[in-house]
Structure 1
Amino acid sequence: MYLRLKKKITVDQYQVLTIHDIAHVTGNFRELEDIRQLKIYELTKQDKNVSVIDGFHLIDVLLSAYPNLTFELVGPNQVIVDIKKGSRKASPILIACIWLLLCIGSAMAIMHFHFDVDMKQVHQSLHTYLTGEESEKPLWIQVPYSLGLGIGMILFFNHVFKKRFNEEPSPLEIEMFNYQEDLDQYLVTHENVLNHRNDD
């Protein structure tokens, strides 16, 4: 019988996990449906928000229940169990404050960058170089530059609100994916149910 652990699942508090919940199972046995319903682990208060079930724990339970069968584990060796708690509704005031803080912070960063490189002088020099005339406010350069800056950021992040321009992930999505992968690896290392059993 072949088993492939799911990489990550989301479950309710105190749920009893079965083979079907944490793994894909296939094989040529009459007991296949019974194996899918076999209890593997019961979530407790000690599991808090996240638990990790190791493939060896799964194989131990299966061999205890079905000693005459052979089990082959393929794919991931652990499954991360994300435990749902009571969902809290986001406060519109908190969202507005965070949005305002991010907008002000990004605007200040852009303004300080332009001040550091003296972008105004750059535009004036560019105007003089192209036209041969000096101008204090070369708007024909400054306005398209400002618009291009905003459009460039939208294209860079590949989003306008929930609208995507193409299927290519944005740099922010890639960074979030890498962060999640690192977080999952940390959880696998530190929250492993088998490790806790061995420590006990």
Structure 2
Amino acid sequence: MKQHSAPAIYIQLKNRVTVPKGKGVTLGDIAFLIAEPELKESLESILLMKPEQSDGNLILIDLLMVIPRIYELVPEADIEPIGEGRTIVQIESSVERRKPSVAMFVLVWLLLFFGSALTIMNFHADVNMQEVQIRIVEMITGHRDEHPVVFQIAYSVGIGFGMVIFFNHLFKKKWNEEPTPLEVEMYLYQKNIDQYVINEEYSKMRRRGENQPENVEDGR
């Protein structure tokens, strides 16, 4: 007599997904699945929840919610979780996005431009950069020039060129595949936001008396 082995289902939850407002959240929306072809489509169509207005625009779904729904469809399944055990679902508003404001863009650009310029000028004033440049030119040429314009122009161009290299970005062009410092900071900011949302959602579950995994405070 042949024994049928339990079908293996490998599941990896996505870190963060966006779902249109009014649409139910399915397993296929929040997870990558590896399963037998005849099971995969049915698994991906499992409806996990229908977001309501009271849920807000950020919802946490973890494996403790997902696994029972899989067993309802495939009772004998051998579920193998991979990676993180939770995902954040962001509900996308149906309201059309406002067009970027040109006036706001110009205002922010001017604030950044003059703020950066004042920062550089204050630094140069603190270290007496003009005298330093005069001394450098004197060391190179052998005579003192109170207004080393050529050196100052080259120095100014060098500052701009150095900033382009440091930020690895010129308009839409990147010099290599390495992330820019701004991209790294944005990544860390988003990661901290996600961890805060996770902790807050588990706190709500705790107050409601629902089960929650251990070690969520440190992201494990």
The letter for the 2-side match of 1:40 is L
Matches within 5 A, 1:56-67: 56-67=64-75
CA–CA separation in structure 2 for the residues paired with 1:17 and 1:100: 43
> How far off its partner does 1:79 sit?
0.9
SS at match of 1:152: helix
Query: RMSD in angstroms over aligned alpha carbons?
Result: 1.8
Q: Does 1:167 align with 2:177?
A: yes
Among 55, 59, 64, the alignment partner of 1:51 is: 59
Q: What secondary structure, in the 3-state scheme, does the structure 2 residue paired with 1:9 have?
A: strand
The residue type equivalent to 1:141 in the other structure is F
Measure, in 2, the Cα distance between the counterparts of 1:141 and 1:35: 68
2:109 counterpart (99, 109, 112): 99
Deviates more, 1:64-73 or 1:141-150: 64-73
Which residue does the alignment assign to 2:24? 16
Larger RCO (alpha carbons 8 Å, 6+ apart) = 1
Q: Secondary structure at the match of 2:36?
A: coil
Match of 2:78, SS state, is: coil
Specify the alignment match of 1:156 in structure 2: 166
Question: How many angstroms does 1:98 deviate by?
Answer: 0.8
Please give the secondary structure, in 2, of the residue aligned with 1:40. strand
Q: Which amino acid aligns with 1:77?
A: G
- Determine if the alignment matches structure 1 residue 119 to structure 2 residue 129: yes
Offset at 1:34?
Answer: 1.8
**1:199 paired residue number:** 207
Aligned with 2:147: secondary structure? coil
In 1, the alpha carbon distance for the partners of 2:38 and 2:206 equals 33
Q: Which residue of 1 aligns with 2:140?
A: 130
Change (3 A) 1:199 1:60: farther
Task: Answer yes or no: is 1:68 the counterpart of 2:72.
Answer: no
C-alpha distance 126-31 of structure 1, shift in aligned 2 (>3 A): closer
Q: Which runs of 5+ in 2 are unaligned?
A: 1-8, 209-220
What SS does the aligned partner of 1:136 have?
Answer: coil
Which consecutive unaligned segments of at least 5 residues does structure 1 have? none
The answer to whether the 8 A contact 1:50-1:191 is kept is: no
In 1: Cα distance, 2:80 partner to 2:138 partner: 74
Deviates more, 1:64-73 or 1:114-123: 64-73
Q: Which residue of 1 aligns with 2:36?
A: 28
Query: TM-score, normalised to structure 1's length?
Result: 0.90
1:32 CA drift (Å): 3.3
SS of 1:14 mapped into structure 2: coil
Change (3 A) 1:15 1:62: same
1:100 Cα deviation from its structure 2 partner: 0.9
TM superposition shift of 1:66: 3.7
Partner of 2:6: none
Report SS of the residue matched to 2:25. strand
CA distance in 2, matches of 1:39, 1:8: 17
Identity of aligned pairs, percent? 36
1:125-177: CA deviation from partner (whole Å, max 9, x where unpaired): 11222223221101221110011001111111111111111112112211211
Counterpart amino acid of 1:147? V
Question: What TM-score, normalized by structure 2, do the two folds share?
Answer: 0.82
